[in-house]
Amino acid sequence: MLLNSDIAGKLISKGLELGADFVDLFIEKTQLQTVSYKSSQIDQVQSGINSGIGLRLIFGNQSLYAHSNSLEEKTLLIIIENLAAIYKCDPKKSFTGAFNTGSDFKHVAAFGDSDLSLRDKIQHVAKLDQLIRTKSEKIAQVGLNLIQKIQEVEIYDSLGMHRTDKRPYIRLAASAFAKDGDKQTSAFHGPGATGGWEFVQSLNFEEIAEMITARALTVLGADLCPAGNMPVVLENGFGGVIFHEACGHLLETTSVEKKASVFWDKKGEQIANTAVSAVDDGRVDNQWGSISIDDEGMETQRTQLIKDGILTNFLCDRMGEIKTGHPRTGSARRQSYKFHPASRMRNTFIEAGNSSREEILASVENGLYCKAMGGGSVNPGTGEFNFAVEEGYLIKNGKIEKPVRGATLIGKGPDVLMKISMVGKDCTLTAGMCGSVSGSVPVTVGQPPLKVDDILVGGQA
Amino acid sequence: MINQEIKQMMKKTIDFALDQGVGACDVIVSRGDSLDLKAQNGKIDKYNLSNSQVFGIRIIEDKRVGIAFSESTDEKSLYETVKMARENAKTSDENPYETIEGIALEHIVENDPHLLQKDETTQDEKINLALKLESEVKEREPRVTAVPYGGVGESAYQYYYMNSPGSFCFQEERYVTCSTSALIKDGSDTSMHYHSSVARSFDSLDWEVCVEESLYHATKWLHGQAIQSGHYDVVFTPDAFGSLLSCFGNIFSAKAAKDKVNPMAEKLGSQIANKDFTIIDSPIFHQSFVQSIFDDEGFKREDLPLIQNGVLTNFYHNTATAKYFGVKTNARASRSAKSSLGIGGTTKVIKTGKTTDHDLFDGTILEIHSMDGLHSGTNSMSGDFSLGCHGYLKKNGEIIQSVKGITVAGNFYKMINQMVGIGHLLKHNASKTFFTPLIRFEGLSIAGK
């Protein structure tokens, strides 16, 4: 227990006495360890503990939030008084004093670890460095980061809910830098999971080395991508960033509640091509974006966002529910206790369709094949998004032709969703980090291979 | 002002580490308090108060570096943090370059009126400002459907540095911000723009400019169109150019050069930019919003020319990179309580040229105001960039079209050789941390219609 339940009860009672309709507490202790491996040696080993509490008071549909490193009762009571001063009124509710401590939720993260020392773990990771370096003499540098985090959270609210959870995260981020004369470039791959060391042991280093080296070398020798509107085929896995940016952010009630999403009033309407069905699922075992309970203590769920092109649900947290009336979906997330919770994506993907990869490619006369995507961003209010192509190839007469570099895809979410005309069969998920109003949180994106009939490709005019 | 309890706690921790056999160590403590207010539909929608403190230690033991941090600062936690750092050092490889040595230095920036100003603004006045930022935007333009981003913020920050040779540094500052945005809809066209202001006191905040700029650009871009694909001469606003330059900041990093990820590592002393291009890193530039008198190893900073007349003249160094390259540190060490030793710059100032605005905007140019996807659409190794952007097509200085739905692409390292005019007036970004004249770049690739 991170915070004594008696103290939690006193804090919540105080908030309600001062007129709040709802009070919740989010207590966190996170142990973090990162190892940086560079130039074939250990560059840095670093560890630390983040700890503190976030306190929220809701008055009507207004939210007041504070956070502190201190867990002292006296300090926290003063913070609640200061917070409540802005809307202080006669009490409307009282706290029963009892908490319902539940643990009957699905645990999405296996808590495995090994007896290996950190030094032994680093020696294992170092094999990837060596494998990448042996693939080509043009590999000038390899950078590896091993990140392990255990986030313990405890959540209390004025409805008597009390939940605790322990969330283990592990990620191995690899970068390869290639050089050929004056030409230089880099490639990145960063698999991650909720779990322990066994995840890294399960990775196929040979495949990763092959893939990351090939990507760096392909881009190194590629010509600039021609610019213009054209059909685009997006490969599975991180290609799903298109849905994350073009649609996912626009379905978070954080934007919907402010009418700052072009989809705010489109529930039940056709917003995508009928080939598109999409899901945000927090329950997938050991996935990087999975959570057993959200940061408001609600058990997470699988949320069907779009079914056959129809918008079926938004991603909703408590404030989203209060302001929009849409039901909560176990999607309240935050980087740490320093952030107010907000509706955020978890593992978001387009579901498998009926087309084979060969059929999709064969349907394109002149276009772009995006084998690997970089990151992107979106303006939810206008739906304008952009994302970078990390490894791309031109398609001519249905065949993948020469590689190209420096391509960016831009467009408007609503337009692009309507132009996804073919969806492949094999959906895979890829880890990433998503930054938004409640900080940076782990997410996965995913999709099968798919075709967008027409999109603006930025490159060489 | 300096909290003597924190200073004593730092000293006690260092003494404890040395008693344990640590060769040398330094400690950073940062403390902050902030307030963040947001309005929505005429009411205060978000009211966030924060109070934070973090303690970080770096130790050198047997030529190995260990780093650890804690947000709990009770005595037990601090000693545990020292132990964690020692364990991390034992796991590390030897690093003969990273040391903590030298004479004891002291830099105290306390009650500096440039960084810390008295402000007696009441909470009600702050709330009223947040409400006004929303209501003014809505009242001035009926097509505004929402003010999704904006509000009022206040932040006070203290930084402490102490090391085992005896250096002690302290800086405190406070700043306030206000911002607003306009989301406008007209038929099927939508547009949004956001603008912010930062100052040392509330009465110096330019809320009126935030409202005007948000509405002006959102309105202008509402019916904006893509232009014909092709090559255009481009002028970036200071905010846009500063953002783009920062994506390629590795070219100034000695650490990146040491790590073989600086594409200009072998170009020191070589011409890498137009002969009229000069850029200086200026830690106490008088017009800058920030002042950075000492670095995160406690050394005093001075102006550092990075590119002079197109020649790459210096890299940023800390003591470790300086030792590796056999030079003296130029006090560009960068380290927070939670991070390892790196390098970092301060205010960048680009020297003005001789081109008048009339000549700079002669003929047809694309003026770029904002770019999207900077974190993913740039490659600092190759110099390639390809980014979505907004701006205005201008003819002889007059706007002839609002432009959106386009991308700008090029190679940054080639682009800085393709300047056809450097303006004669020094301008700055919104946060007053980057100073540059307007610069006209020749023939960047624009994808549009």
Nearest-CB residue to B50 (from A48, A66, A140): A66
CA angle A382–A387–A393, rounded 5-degree value: 140
> Nearest residue of B to residue A340 by CA position?
B48
* CA neighbor of B41 nearest in space, from B150, B115, B120: B150
Give the pLDDT confidence score for residue A376 in this predicted structure: 82
- Whether residue B352 contacts residue A374, with contact meaning beta carbons closer than 8 Å, is answered with no
Q: Identify which of B79, B106, B104 has the alpha carbon closest to the alpha carbon of residue B22.
A: B79
Contact A260 B148 (CB under 8 A): yes
Which element (helix H / strand E) includes B421?
strand B419-422
Bridging pattern class, strands A161-180 and A100-101: parallel
What does the pLDDT read at residue A112? 67
- The pLDDT assigned to A16 comes to 96
The amino acid sitting at A148 is Q
Q: Are strands B364-372 and B230-236 parallel, antiparallel or unpaired?
A: parallel
**Quick one: tokens of B145?**
């459907």
Position A204, amino acid: N
* pLDDT > 90 fraction of chain B, expressed in percent and rounded: 88
**B263 interfaces chain A, CB cutoff of 8 Å:** yes
| H-type alpha helices, A18-153 | 73-84, 118-135
A262/A418 Cα distance (integer angstroms): 14
B247 contacts B373 by C-beta, under 8 angstroms: no
| pTM, 2 dp | 0.90
Chain B residues near residue A408 by CB distance under 8 angstroms: 373, 377, 386-388, 407, 409
- Say yes or no: B69 contacts chain A, CB-CB below 8 A: yes
d(C-alpha B278, C-alpha B306), whole Å:
8
Tokens of A171: 């990620």
* Pairing assessment for the beta strands A366-379 and A228-234 based on DSSP bridges: parallel
Contacts of A183 in chain B (CB under 8 A): 382
Query: What is the dihedral angle through the alpha carbons of B393, B396, B398, B401, rounded to the nearest 10 degrees?
Result: -20
Segment B226-241 shows an average pLDDT of 96
Search chain B and give the residue with CA nearest A87: B44
Query: End-to-end alpha-carbon separation of chain B, Å?
Result: 58
- A285, two tokens: 């075992």
Chain A CB within 8 Å of residue B44 CB: yes
Write down how long chain A is: 461
- As beta bridge partners, residue B109 has B171
Question: What is the per-residue pLDDT for B211?
Answer: 98
DSSP string of A285-334, one letter each residue = TTBTT--SB-TTSPBP-EEEEEETTEE---B--HHHHHHH-PPP-S-EE-
- A13, A56, A161, A428 from A98: Cα distances, Å: 11, 19, 9, 44
Q: State the Cα–Cα distance between residues A40 and A379, nearest whole angstrom.
A: 41
Hey, which residues 144-173 in chain B have their CB within 8 Å of chain A? Answer: 145-146, 148-149
The residues pairing with B185 across neighbouring beta strands, listed in sequence order, are: B190
Q: Are B447 and B406 in contact (CB under 8 A)?
A: yes
Residue B32 has pLDDT above 70, yes or no: yes
Mutation for testing the B interface, residue in A33, A51, A69, A71 having most B CBs under 10 Å: A69
- Mean pLDDT (chain B, rounded): 95
- Enumerate the residues of chain B whose CB falls inside 8 A of the CB of residue A41: 93
CB contact under 8 A, B372 and A82: no
Residue B74: helix, strand or coil by DSSP? coil
CA separation (Å) from B342 to A225, B296, B337, B421?
Answer: 35, 9, 12, 35
Calculate the CA A59 to chain-centre distance. Answer: 30
Dihedral sign, CA of A69, A72, A75, A80? Answer: positive
Q: What is the pLDDT of residue B36?
A: 94
pLDDT at B320: 97
Residue B411 near residue B445 (C-beta atoms within 8 A): no
List chain B residues with CB under 8 Å of A65: 46-49
CA distance B328 to A272: 60
Residue carrying the six token digits 């003005």: B352
The pLDDT value recorded for residue A185 is 87
Confidence of residue B103 (pLDDT cuts 50, 70, 90): confident
Torsions phi, psi for A389 (to 5 deg): -100, 120
Say whether A458 and B84 touch across the interface (CB within 8 A). Answer: no
Amino acid B227 reads: I
- Token pair for residue B324? 């590796």
In whole angstroms, give the CA distance from residue B434 to residue B307.
15
Q: Could B259 and A83 be called an inter-chain contact, meaning their C-beta atoms sit closer than 8 Å? A: no
Cα gap A248→B13, rounded to integer Å: 47
Q: What is the predicted pLDDT for the residue at A113?
A: 63
Residue B116 pLDDT: 87
Give, rounded to a whole angstrom, the gap between the first and last alpha carbons of chain A.
60
For B34-68, how does the pLDDT look when each residue is reduced to its tens digit (9 = 90+)? 999 999 889 888 899 998 999 999 999 999 999 99
Three-state DSSP class for A103?
Answer: coil
The 10 Å Cβ neighbour count of residue A323 is 20
Of the candidates A448, A373, A369, A378, which has an alpha carbon nearest to the alpha carbon of residue A413? A378
ipTM topping 0.85: yes
Number of Cα atoms under 13 Å in the Cβ half of residue A389: 33
* Separation between Cα atoms, residue B73 and residue B84, nearest integer Å: 14
Q: Using CB atoms within 10 Å of the CB of residue B11, give its burial: 0 to 12 exposed, 13 to 18 middle, 19+ buried.
A: middle
Kindly list the distances between the CA atom of residue A158 and the CA atoms of A15, A17, A219, B38, in Å, as whole numbers in the listed order: 9, 11, 55, 24
What span, in angstroms and rounded, lies between the C-alpha atoms of A293 and A79?
26
DSSP assignment, residue B89?
Answer: H
Buried/exposed code over A36-52 (b: 16+ C-beta within 10 A; e: otherwise): bbbeeebbbbbbbbbbb
B403 touches chain A (CB under 8 A): no
Spell out a b/e string for A128-160, using b for 16 or more CB atoms within 10 Å of the CB, else e: bbebbbebbebbbbbbbbbbbbbbbbbbbbbee
pLDDT-derived band at B373 (thresholds 50, 70, 90) equals confident
Contact B290, B175 (CB under 8 A): no
Contact assessment for residue A227 and residue B447, using Cβ atoms and an 8 Å cutoff: yes
Beta bridge partners of A44: A36
Distance separating alpha carbons of residues A25 and B55, to the nearest angstrom: 24
Nearest to B65 among A44, A61, A457 (CB): A44
Dihedral sign, CA of A447, A452, A455, A461? positive
Structure tokens at B379: 């490659």
Locate all alpha helices (DSSP H) within A142-186, ordered by sequence: none
Q: What is the mean pLDDT of residues B315-340?
A: 97
pLDDT in tens, chain A (461 residues): 899 999 999 999 999 999 999 999 999 999 999 999 999 999 999 999 999 999 999 999 899 999 999 899 999 999 999 999 888 788 888 888 899 988 778 888 877 667 788 999 999 999 999 999 999 999 999 999 999 999 999 999 999 999 999 999 999 999 999 999 888 888 999 999 999 999 999 999 999 999 999 999 998 889 999 999 999 999 998 888 888 988 999 999 999 998 888 899 999 999 999 999 999 999 999 999 999 999 999 999 999 999 999 999 999 999 999 999 999 999 999 999 999 999 999 999 999 999 999 999 999 999 999 999 888 888 877 888 888 999 999 999 999 999 999 899 999 888 999 999 999 999 999 999 999 999 999 999 999 999 999 999 998 88
A456 membership: H or E segment, kind and range: strand A450-458
Choose among B222, B130, B135: nearest CA to B183.
B222
> Is A407 close to B386, i.e. CB distance below 8 A?
yes
Q: What is the Cα Rg of chain B in Å?
A: 24
Name the maximum alpha-carbon separation found in chain A: 74
What is the distance of C-alpha B14 from the center of its chain?
31
Question: For B95-103, what is the mean pLDDT?
Answer: 92
Phi-psi region of B42 (alpha: psi -120 to 50; beta: other; left: phi over 0): left
Residue pair A1/A162 in contact by the 8 Å Cβ criterion: no
